[in-house]
Structure 1
Amino acid sequence: MHQNEKELIARWDHAFEADPAEREKYYLTVAYPYPSGAMHVGHGRTYIVPDVIARFQRMHGKQVLFPMAFHVTGTPVIGISKRIANGDKKTIGLYRNLYKVPQDVLDRFIDPMEIVRYFSEEYTRVMQRCGLSIDWRRRFITIDPQYSKFIEWQYKHLHEEDHVVKGAHPVKYCPQCENPVGDHDLLEGDKAEIIRFTLVMFRWGDALVPCATLRPETTYGVTNLWVNPGTTYVRAKIDGREWIVSPEAAEKLRLQDNDVRVMEDVPGTALIGETVSHPLSGDVPVLPASFVDPDMGSGIVMSVPAHAPFDYIALRDLQQQGKYADITPISLISVEGYGEFPAKDAVERAGITDQNDPAMETLTQEVYSAEFSRGRLHDQYGGKPVREARDDVAETMIAQYDSTVMYEFDIRQVICRCGGRVFVRILHDQWFLEYSDPAWKTEIHDQLAEMALVPTEVRAEFDRTVDWLKDWACTRRVGLGTKLPWDPAWIIEPLSDSTIYMAYYTIAHHLKAISPEKLTPDVFDYIFLGQGAPETVDRATLDAIRGEFLYWYPYDYRFSAKDLISNHLTFQLFHHRAIFPHDLQPQGMVVFGMGLLNGAKMSSSKGNVFLLEDAIEEFGADTVRMFLVGSAEPWQDFDWRNELVSSTRRQIERFWNTIMEAKDAEGTAGIDAWLQSRLQQRIGSTTTAMEAFQTRQALQEAFFGIESDLKWYRRRLPEGIGGAVLQDLCRAWVRLLAPFIPFTCETLWKHLEGPGMVSFADWPVTDEALVNPEIELAEELLLRTVEDIESIVRLIPMEPASINLIVAPAWKHEIFRTVATTADKTRVVREVMKDEEMRKRGRAATDTAQQITKLVLKFPPKLVEQLLETSIDERAVLQGASEFLAKEFCVPVRILTAEESGHPKASGALPFKPAIVIE
Structure 2
Amino acid sequence: MNEVSSNFVSVLREIASKWQTVWSSGKVYDAEPDPKRPKFFLTAAFPYPNSPPHLGHARTYGTADVYARYMRMKGYNVLFPLGFHFTGTPIITMADDIARGDRELIDIFKSIYDIPPDKISMLADPLFMANYFKDEIKAALTEMGMSLDWRREFTTIDPEFSSFITWQFKKLSERGFVVKDTHPVGWCPVHNLPVGMHDTKGDVEPEIGEFTLIYFETDSGILPAATLRPETVLGVVCIWINPSEKYVSVEMDGKKFIMAEKAAQKLAFQVDDLRIVDKVDHSKLLELKAKNPLTNMFVPVIQAEFVDPLMGTGVVMSVPAHAPFDYFYIKKKGLKVTPIKVIDVPGEQVPLAVKLVDQHPPKGKEELEKLTEEVYKTEFHRGKMSPDVLQLAAPQHREELSKLVGASVKEAREMLTSFLIRKGQGRRIYEMMNRPVYCRCGNETVVKLLKDQWFLDYGNEKWKELSRELLAQMRLLPEEVRKDFQYSIEWLEKRACARTRGLGTPLPWDKRWIIESLSDSTIYMAYYTFVKTMRDAGIRATQLTPEVWDYLLLGEGDVKQVSQRSAIPEDVLSKMRNEFLYWYPLDSRHSGKDLIPNHLSFFIFNHAAIFPRELWPKQIVVNGFVLYEGKKMSKSLRNILSLRRAIRTYGADTVRLTVLGGAEIGTDSNFTDSDAKSVLEQLRWLYEFSRSITGSETVDVPERWLMSKLQLAVGDVTTAMEQLRLREVMNTLVYKLRYYVEDYLDMVKAANRGPNEKILRQFIETWIKMLFPLAPHISQEIWSSLGHRTLLDTEKWPVMESSLVDVESELSVEYIHSLIDDIKSIMNVVGGRAEEASIYVAERDKGELLRKVILELKQGKGFGELMKEMRPHDRESANLLRRVIEQASQMKVELREKVLAINLDELSVISKFSSYIAMKTGLKAVKAYEASMMKVHGVKKDSLPMKPAIMLLTKG
Q: TM-score range by the shorter chain?
A: over 0.9
CA contact (8 A) 1:630 1:695 kept: yes
Report the 3-state secondary structure (helix = DSSP H, G, I; strand = E; otherwise coil) of the residue aligned with 1:71.
coil
Report the 3-state secondary structure (helix = DSSP H, G, I; strand = E; otherwise coil) of the residue aligned with 2:247.
strand
Q: Which moved more, 1:331-340 or 1:632-641?
A: 331-340
1:367 paired residue number: 375
2:395 paired residue number: none
2:101 paired residue number: 87
2:90 paired residue number: 76
Post-superposition CA distance 1:711-753 (Å, at most 9, x none): 2211111346512221222222222211121111122122111
2:320 paired residue number: 305
Report the Cα offset of residue 267 of structure 1.
Answer: 2.5
Paired residues for 1:97-246 under 5 Å: 97-188=111-202, 190-205=204-219, 207-246=221-260
1:549 paired residue number: 580
1:330 pairs with one of 337, 340, 345: 340
2:31 paired residue number: 18
RMSD between superposed Cα atoms in Å: 2.3
CA contact (8 A) 2:850 2:945 kept: no
CA contact (8 A) 1:432 1:471 kept: yes
Pairing 1:455–2:466 present: no
Report the 3-state secondary structure (helix = DSSP H, G, I; strand = E; otherwise coil) of the residue aligned with 1:489.
strand
Question: Are residues 26 and 357 of structure 1, via their aligned partners in 2, closer, same or farther at CA, if it must alter by over 3 Å?
Answer: closer
1:432 paired residue number: 455
2:44 pairs with one of 7, 17, 30: 30
Separation (CA, whole Å) in 2 of partners of 1:698 and 1:3: 26
Report the Cα offset of residue 898 of structure 1.
Answer: 3.3
Report the Cα offset of residue 847 of structure 1.
Answer: 4.2
Post-superposition CA distance 1:353-401 (Å, at most 9, x none): 6xx5542222222222222222222202123232321221111111124
Report the Cα offset of residue 795 of structure 1.
Answer: 2.1
Report the 3-state secondary structure (helix = DSSP H, G, I; strand = E; otherwise coil) of the residue aligned with 2:301.
strand
CA contact (8 A) 2:183 2:451 kept: yes
1:753 paired residue number: 787
Paired residues for 1:762-911 under 5 Å: 762-797=796-831, 798-819=833-854, 821-822=856-857, 827-835=862-870, 839-844=871-876, 846-885=878-917, 889-902=922-935, 908-911=942-945
CA contact (8 A) 1:59 1:759 kept: yes
Report the Cα offset of residue 283 of structure 1.
Answer: 0.4
Post-superposition CA distance 1:112-160 (Å, at most 9, x none): 1111111111000000111111111111111111111111111121111
Report the 3-state secondary structure (helix = DSSP H, G, I; strand = E; otherwise coil) of the residue aligned with 1:698.
helix
Report the 3-state secondary structure (helix = DSSP H, G, I; strand = E; otherwise coil) of the residue aligned with 2:869.
coil
Q: Which moved more, 1:735-744 or 1:801-810?
A: 801-810
Give TM-score, length-normalised by structure 1: 0.95
CA contact (8 A) 2:840 2:931 kept: no
Report the 3-state secondary structure (helix = DSSP H, G, I; strand = E; otherwise coil) of the residue aligned with 2:191.
coil
Separation (CA, whole Å) in 2 of partners of 1:376 and 1:790: 65
Q: Which moved more, 1:416-425 or 1:698-707?
A: 698-707
Report the Cα offset of residue 187 of structure 1.
Answer: 0.7
Paired residues for 1:384-423 under 5 Å: 384-423=407-446
Report the Cα offset of residue 336 of structure 1.
Answer: 4.5
Report the Cα offset of residue 502 of structure 1.
Answer: 1.4
2:15 pairs with one of 4, 10, 16: 4
Report the 3-state secondary structure (helix = DSSP H, G, I; strand = E; otherwise coil) of the residue aligned with 2:43.
strand
Question: Are residues 816 and 915 of structure 1, via their aligned partners in 2, closer, same or farther at CA, if it must alter by over 3 Å?
Answer: farther
| Amino acid paired to 2:444 | R
Separation (CA, whole Å) in 1 of partners of 2:346 and 2:240: 29
Question: Are residues 768 and 169 of structure 1, via their aligned partners in 2, closer, same or farther at CA, if it must alter by over 3 Å?
Answer: same
Post-superposition CA distance 1:568-621 (Å, at most 9, x none): 111111111111111111111111122222222233465332211111111111
Question: Are residues 232 and 11 of structure 1, via their aligned partners in 2, closer, same or farther at CA, if it must alter by over 3 Å?
Answer: same
Separation (CA, whole Å) in 2 of partners of 1:599 and 1:765: 37
Point out where structure 1 has 5 or more consecutive residues left out of the alignment.
none
Question: Are residues 146 and 128 of structure 1, via their aligned partners in 2, closer, same or farther at CA, if it must alter by over 3 Å?
Answer: same
Question: Are residues 781 and 329 of structure 1, via their aligned partners in 2, closer, same or farther at CA, if it must alter by over 3 Å?
Answer: same
CA contact (8 A) 1:174 1:422 kept: yes
CA contact (8 A) 1:453 1:459 kept: yes
Report the Cα offset of residue 541 of structure 1.
Answer: 0.8
Report the Cα offset of residue 244 of structure 1.
Answer: 0.8
Post-superposition CA distance 1:15-74 (Å, at most 9, x none): 211111221212111111111112111211111121112112212222111111111211
CA contact (8 A) 1:432 1:472 kept: yes
Residue-pair matches, total: 908
Report the Cα offset of residue 811 of structure 1.
Answer: 4.0
Pairing 1:722–2:755 present: yes
Give TM-score, length-normalised by structure 2: 0.91
Separation (CA, whole Å) in 1 of partners of 2:434 and 2:939: 68
Separation (CA, whole Å) in 2 of partners of 1:860 and 1:241: 75
Question: Are residues 407 and 666 of structure 1, via their aligned partners in 2, closer, same or farther at CA, if it must alter by over 3 Å?
Answer: same
Report the Cα offset of residue 890 of structure 1.
Answer: 4.1
Separation (CA, whole Å) in 1 of partners of 2:65 and 2:488: 28
Question: Are residues 543 and 842 of structure 1, via their aligned partners in 2, closer, same or farther at CA, if it must alter by over 3 Å?
Answer: farther
Point out where structure 2 has 5 or more consecutive residues left out of the alignment.
1-10, 390-404
2:534 paired residue number: 511
Paired residues for 1:248-267 under 5 Å: 248-267=262-281
Report the 3-state secondary structure (helix = DSSP H, G, I; strand = E; otherwise coil) of the residue aligned with 1:833.
helix
CA contact (8 A) 2:67 2:724 kept: yes
| Amino acid paired to 1:286 | V
| Amino acid paired to 1:756 | T
CA contact (8 A) 1:186 1:415 kept: yes
Separation (CA, whole Å) in 2 of partners of 1:205 and 1:883: 98
Report the Cα offset of residue 821 of structure 1.
Answer: 5.0
| Amino acid paired to 1:334 | D
Report the 3-state secondary structure (helix = DSSP H, G, I; strand = E; otherwise coil) of the residue aligned with 2:666.
coil
Report the Cα offset of residue 813 of structure 1.
Answer: 3.4
Separation (CA, whole Å) in 1 of partners of 2:16 and 2:587: 30
Question: Are residues 154 and 333 of structure 1, via their aligned partners in 2, closer, same or farther at CA, if it must alter by over 3 Å?
Answer: same
CA contact (8 A) 2:506 2:513 kept: yes
1:471 paired residue number: 494
Q: Which moved more, 1:779-788 or 1:104-113?
A: 779-788
Report the 3-state secondary structure (helix = DSSP H, G, I; strand = E; otherwise coil) of the residue aligned with 1:566.
helix
Separation (CA, whole Å) in 1 of partners of 2:902 and 2:463: 55
| Amino acid paired to 1:801 | E
CA contact (8 A) 2:478 2:665 kept: no
2:305 paired residue number: 290
Separation (CA, whole Å) in 1 of partners of 2:317 and 2:276: 23
The percent identity for this pair of structures is 37
Paired residues for 1:661-680 under 5 Å: 661-662=692-693, 664-670=694-700, 671-680=702-711
Pairing 1:652–2:683 present: yes
Paired residues for 1:618-637 under 5 Å: 618-637=649-668
Separation (CA, whole Å) in 2 of partners of 1:56 and 1:832: 52
CA contact (8 A) 2:547 2:557 kept: yes
